[in-house]
């Protein structure tokens, strides 16, 4: 095995062994606490530009299959694991973890002390790292190249619209880096879905005559999308709208709120979230490094609907008069396993109401 190194910009060095491609890579080092779902994580476009550390110590034991990709290719820049299973066992498995990385040209390191690495990330908060072949010379970080304003969304969004036929309501899915599970959830509700690039013009969307709009998840700093805030505001005022993760943040920003970088984000499958209106707590899947600043929301227009039980951060909001709802978590992620599936059903109810604000099944 070839020795490789993860060097943090704070000076820490972690020794490991190369897996996948052997190219050197730089990116923000993040961690996910989920015990399963490594295939879905690696292919989640929200991880674009990041080096993903798996907290669970054994990765690859059930291999990868042809059904569970969240996008057409691996989205992470690199992966960090502790113990890697080289011989997976599962009836759906079609390839190993390491082989998938190699086939797609994605580097990684195994046999890393991931507990020590996660401790360093929690200590320093946002931290960049570089995977290198040797550490004989100084490892430099290019501040300009690694700018937080880099438009990762453009690298993962579709380049032309795609339509998925169905018999129900027509939903335009604005793609900032959407997960296939979001599309599947809409199709399961019998929606006809048109996936469009994030920079699609308002007139083009209007010409599609949608019943509603869904703003997807995606990677990077939401402020890198500032050029599209006015478009998002107009669309949300014209159509029933659901925002998920980055889509939630973009709706908030478009309506005058602010976002901020979190210390080390929420990435995992067991985050408890409380519905402020009903008092019910649900278990959610999350993957985000930014959060909407609750104090910056226009309380005359929006009400806070969801709050994180662990740290009190804002997890979702709804408009007081318009059919607009947004959630920071992933209702399509199936933790619980279906605790927050109702988010999509509420969205469908608003489409059925013809754009009128709904409360449960009651039209206001």
Which residues are annotated as catalytic? 245, 330, 332
Question: For 340-346, which contacts have Cβ atoms below 8 Å and span 24 or more sequence positions?
Answer: 340/273, 340/282, 340/284, 341/185, 343/242, 344/185, 344/186, 344/189, 344/242, 345/189
Q: Which tokens is 236 given?
A: 């949300």
Say whether 40 sits in a helix, a strand or coil: helix
Contact 40, 160 (CB under 8 A): no
Q: Which tokens is 38 given?
A: 């490594």
Residue in 154, 151, 156, 155 with CA at minimum distance from that of residue 70:
156
| CB-CB neighbours of 89 under 10 Å | 9
Pairing of strands 25-32, 302-308: unpaired
Spell out where 78-183 has E strands. Answer: 78-80, 83-84, 107-110, 128-132, 162-164, 170-175
């Amino acid at each position: 095995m070839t020795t490789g190194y993860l060097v943090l910009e704070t000076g820490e060095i972690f020794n490991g062994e190369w897996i996948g491609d052997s190219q050197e890579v730089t990116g923000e080092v993040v961690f996910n606490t989920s015990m399963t779902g490594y295939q879905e994580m690696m292919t989640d476009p929200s991880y674009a530009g990041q080096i993903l550390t798996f907290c669970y110590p054994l990765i690859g034991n059930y291999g990868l299959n042809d059904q569970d990709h969240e996008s057409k290719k691996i989205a992470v820049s690199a992966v960090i694991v502790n113990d890697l299973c080289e011989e997976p066992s599962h009836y759906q498995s079609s390839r190993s973890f390491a082989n998938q990385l190699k086939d797609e040209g994605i580097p990684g390191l195994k046999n890393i002390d991931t507990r020590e690495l996660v401790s360093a990330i929690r200590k320093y908060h946002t931290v960049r790292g570089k995977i290198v072949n040797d550490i004989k010379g100084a490892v430099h970080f290019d501040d300009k190249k690694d700018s937080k304003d880099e438009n990762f969304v453009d690298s993962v969004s579709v380049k032309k619209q795609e339509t998925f036929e169905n018999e129900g309501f027509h939903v335009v899915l604005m793609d900032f880096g959407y997960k296939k599970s979001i599309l599947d959830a809409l199709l399961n509700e019998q929606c006809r879905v048109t996936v469009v690039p994030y920079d699609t013009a308002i007139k083009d969307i209007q010409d599609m005559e949608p019943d509603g709009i869904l703003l997807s998840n995606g990677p990077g700093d939401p402020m890198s999308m500032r050029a599209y805030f006015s478009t998002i505001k107009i669309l949300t005022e014209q159509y029933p709208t659901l925002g998920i993760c980055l889509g939630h943040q973009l709706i908030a920003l478009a309506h005058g709120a602010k976002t901020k970088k979190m210390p080390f984000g929420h990435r995992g499958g067991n985050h408890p979230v409380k519905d402020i209106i009903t008092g019910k707590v649900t278990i959610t899947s999350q993957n985000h490094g930014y959060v909407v600043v609750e104090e910056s929301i226009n309380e005359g227009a929006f009400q806070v609907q969801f709050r994180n039980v662990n740290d009190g951060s804002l997890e979702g909001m709804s408009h007081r008069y318009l059919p607009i709802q947004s959630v920071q978590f992933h209702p399509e992620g199936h933790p619980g396993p279906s605790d927050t599936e109702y988010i999509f059903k509420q969205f469908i109810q608003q489409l059925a109401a013809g754009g009128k604000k709904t409360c449960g099944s009651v039209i206001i």
